[in-house]
Chains A and B, each alone.
Chain A
């Protein structure tokens, strides 16, 4: 019964994070800030949705897959953010 309550909440919160990230991507003034917002959409936004799926599903197979995807998101998103930030930093150095 608890899962039936928690899962929709998790999915909604995840979706809300995605929406906020999208707004941030649109409104934030600098590249670093936009990068910060965009990176939240993956691990936090999509991650929460996936955790919700894992909680809701009674199938072990689905739960395992959802959690695996979360793990990969957590592992790759920071690297992508790092590369973007590094490239931006490099360019500033080149221009100065």
Chain B
């Protein structure tokens, strides 16, 4: 518990700090800070704190402290608690960044980070299919919205004259609204906001996200993340608002969302889903208010955001405790809990009254302001207030469902007292008390609301927050709401308790799932087709494309070198060996002969490379050839030994295609030789290798320095491929040794040669920057050493290796090497060099070490166990 409080102190301290800034911000000051990021592109991590940002930041940190304390107790038995809390805190950072960012690109980055954190939190119980599916759905919907948002923000920046600064864009409001990109920019930004804030028709992900542990639902999916869309709309109101498109889009979508959420909330029986749909109603209300965007509605937005965050967070926490105490969240099975845990009943009653909007709770103020705003929007006529009354009446009924029945309903059997730990109970009680305190003393928040409302509309507006605005039309609507809500609740009790209402997935969710299933079916069909074509067919297709490309290129004339350089005897001999090997491979009846012949081609090519001075290439080729032959030998042990006559007849087409492809490649090579012999790039590399990259082996300096980013991408792909391959074909852990025991002679020899090979690998790694070698070749040598070990029957020595860990560690080292220069004041991937005992040492060498690790891990992981005979007895 103490540790829980210590972690909760992090957001609490941030809250206290932000609160200390409140007086200055209330006076209209805007605090700014900028960290250079991609300054060359005009993008910086620019932050600004004005009234609007401050209200959101206070909610994020204040509620965050309570949620963390609550989550610590709530997940006391969960082995993944630390992970959960860590992601929660990461989310908090991202969300703070989102509401403080003054740069649209930074805002987008934080926006996506919140979505990723949400994905991880919803999928916390990832052993459950439902949680995984809900997590995926939430991620896809909000990420698609995020992409729309990015496009919209870029258009907005263009419309505002190319600035990425939000405050500068707002200053250009008139220019933006007159720009032809205004409508598409607004539409895309609105899609982003609507997906994040669960507006119709994207609302369906939010109820499903209730698969998240309750603390995450309380924090992300009611109080903070889903308000990001509201924040975005409020933030862009000045630049984009006040047009007919803005007003009617927001009012229309918001109204539909309000009604839909309110009706759907009554059809649910799971308390969390009831809460989720009532959240959708609240978000719809906020969108409508922003759509009308005049002084009264902006005030209402700010107050209602705080009101909703407080009561909804408290109610979620209470539902979480109910879940723990009663073992169910099914509203039809819960009654009389107030007798079991009286103080929880009191807290629930307060939060519920605030939700229903009854005095003297904070919620009453929020609802009064909302009604006043909607009555004041004359263009809406009587329709908006009517929709609001219906939605709010249903919300009153939902509050009654959440609180009245589970806590104060007549229990069928006597209820025993249940004790709930203070650690778990403290947070919701404090939040419930806050619901009441802000209702009783609303002037406490007056300056903050004024500052936030002013920063939305861009000019100072007077704000008076009070519990009693006098008897007027708004009060009349409130009375109507409560009466209608009570009546709805009575009707619901009849309908729900007597007849069970069936719940079906909404249209949006069905469309989404159908799309996902369709994509999966398409992928399966493509994969199935590729499987039927087979490896030969796929290779044939690739070669056929090469031929087609060559034919297309040849139509423009084939460039021919005007003279052929001297042909050496070695060229003829080696080329001859390769040709003979290829012919033998094609004509062979035995697979073993085929393999040996293909190996001969590889060796001939390697020696050819040596004769042309390409030592690095030759070493790589030879090592790869060795590994391939050994692995293929392992595969041959389970394949039929001889090739059947029909199979050899089927080889005719591949021979034709391969011959044509060979001709095409020859043409290509001749074409390249016909051009200038040395390109400016190779001249540059040769000149700069020793001077700039501190290495004389140009092949290596290109790999680890000049084109290191390419290498990083390639080794990342290798690691991913290894992880996938190990998952698909898990090598047998304790397989039976093939044959009748290992050979003593081979085993003894391996004891001597494997360490020698390992030392040789290390030697190649160390010298690689200046002489033939390097991480890639050295890694392959180690792989060969491992294969020798396995061939000699020393499997036990290899079994302890963890190839995936080695590969991932290598990737980690490579990535570390890429960013080390940042700490030395350089740019990403810039080599940092120093001298240790007279030897130049730099980050590219560390990067080479990472490459070495990846090759060792991937090589051993992909080949170990390939010599195992898998008998299906």
Contact = CB atoms under 8 A, between A and B. Distances in A.
Interface string B742-766: 0101100100010000000000000
A87 B740 CA distance: 10
A87 B743 CA distance: 10
Interface in A54-96: 75-76, 79, 82-83, 86-87, 90
Contacts of A79: 745-746, 749
Interface in B834-850: none
B557 interface: no
Contacts of B746: 79, 82-83
Contact of A82 (B739, B740, B743, B753): B743
Contacts of A75: 749, 753
B743 A86 contact: yes
Nearest to B739: A90
A60 B843 CA distance: 36
A86 B739 CA distance: 11
Contacts of B743: 82-83, 86
Interface string B724-742: 0000000000000001100
A79 B749 CA distance: 8
B803 to A, nearest CB: 26
Contacts, number: 17
B604 to A, nearest CB: 15
Contacts of B749: 75-76, 79
B745 A76 contact: no
Contacts of A82: 743, 745-746
A87 B745 CA distance: 13
A9 B696 CA distance: 39
A75 B751 CA distance: 13
Nearest to B749: A79
Interface residues of A, number: 8
Contacts of A87: 739
Interface in B626-669: none
A56 B9 CA distance: 80
Contacts of B739: 87, 90
A76 B791 CA distance: 14
Contacts of A86: 743
Nearest to A79: B749
A87 B746 CA distance: 12
Nearest to B750: A79
A55 B753 CA distance: 27
A75 B746 CA distance: 11
A95 B723 CA distance: 41
Contact of B740 (A76, A83, A90): A90
Contacts of B753: 75-76
A75 B749 CA distance: 9
A48 B534 CA distance: 47
Contacts of B745: 79, 82-83
B629 to A, nearest CB: 14
Nearest to B752: A75
Nearest to A87: B739
A86 to B, nearest CB: 6
A82 B747 CA distance: 12
A62 B739 CA distance: 42
B577 to A, nearest CB: 13
A90 B741 CA distance: 11
| Interface-central residue, A79, A82, A86, A87, by most chain B CB under 10 Å | A79
B752 to A, nearest CB: 8
A62 B517 CA distance: 66
A90 B753 CA distance: 25
Contacts of B740: 90
A57 to B, nearest CB: 17
A64 to B, nearest CB: 15
A75 B745 CA distance: 11
A79 B744 CA distance: 10
A87 B742 CA distance: 11
A83 B746 CA distance: 7
Contacts of A83: 743, 745-746
A39 B740 CA distance: 25
A94 to B, nearest CB: 9
A73 to B, nearest CB: 13
A83 B749 CA distance: 12
A21 B672 CA distance: 41
B441 to A, nearest CB: 89
Contacts of A76: 749, 753
Nearest to A80: B746
B277 to A, nearest CB: 71
A83 B740 CA distance: 13
Interface string A34-49: 0000000000000000
B751 to A, nearest CB: 12
Nearest to A93: B740
A90 B743 CA distance: 12
A87 B741 CA distance: 12
A76 B749 CA distance: 8
A79 B753 CA distance: 12
Nearest to B740: A90
A28 B382 CA distance: 105
A11 to B, nearest CB: 15
A82 B743 CA distance: 9
A92 to B, nearest CB: 13
A42 B746 CA distance: 18
A32 B250 CA distance: 88
A37 to B, nearest CB: 16
A51 to B, nearest CB: 20
A82 B745 CA distance: 8
A82 B746 CA distance: 8
A83 B743 CA distance: 8
Nearest to A82: B745
A96 B749 CA distance: 30
A82 B791 CA distance: 13
Interface string A9-23: 000000000000000
A82 B753 CA distance: 16
B322 to A, nearest CB: 70
| Interface-central residue, A82, A87, A90, by most chain B CB under 10 Å | A82
A75 B788 CA distance: 14
B636 to A, nearest CB: 13
| Interface-central residue, A86, A87, A90, by most chain B CB under 10 Å | A86
A7 to B, nearest CB: 20
A41 to B, nearest CB: 14
Interface string B797-824: 0000000000000000000000000000
Interface string B531-568: 00000000000000000000000000000000000000
A82 B748 CA distance: 13
B19 to A, nearest CB: 76
B749 to A, nearest CB: 5
Nearest to A78: B745
A83 B753 CA distance: 16
A28 to B, nearest CB: 16
Contacts of A90: 739-740
A90 B746 CA distance: 16
A90 B738 CA distance: 12
Nearest to B756: A72
Nearest to A86: B743
Interface of B: 739-740, 743, 745-746, 749, 753
Given A76-B749, A79-B745, A82-B746, 8 more contacts: A75-B753, A76-B753, A82-B743, A82-B745, A83-B743, A83-B745, A83-B746, A90-B740
15 contacts: A75-B749, A75-B753, A76-B749, A76-B753, A79-B745, A79-B746, A82-B743, A82-B745, A82-B746, A83-B743, A83-B745, A83-B746, A87-B739, A90-B739, A90-B740
The 9 A-B residue pairs with the shortest CB-CB distance, nearest first, are: A79-B749, A82-B745, A83-B746, A86-B743, A79-B746, A79-B745, A83-B743, A90-B739, A90-B740
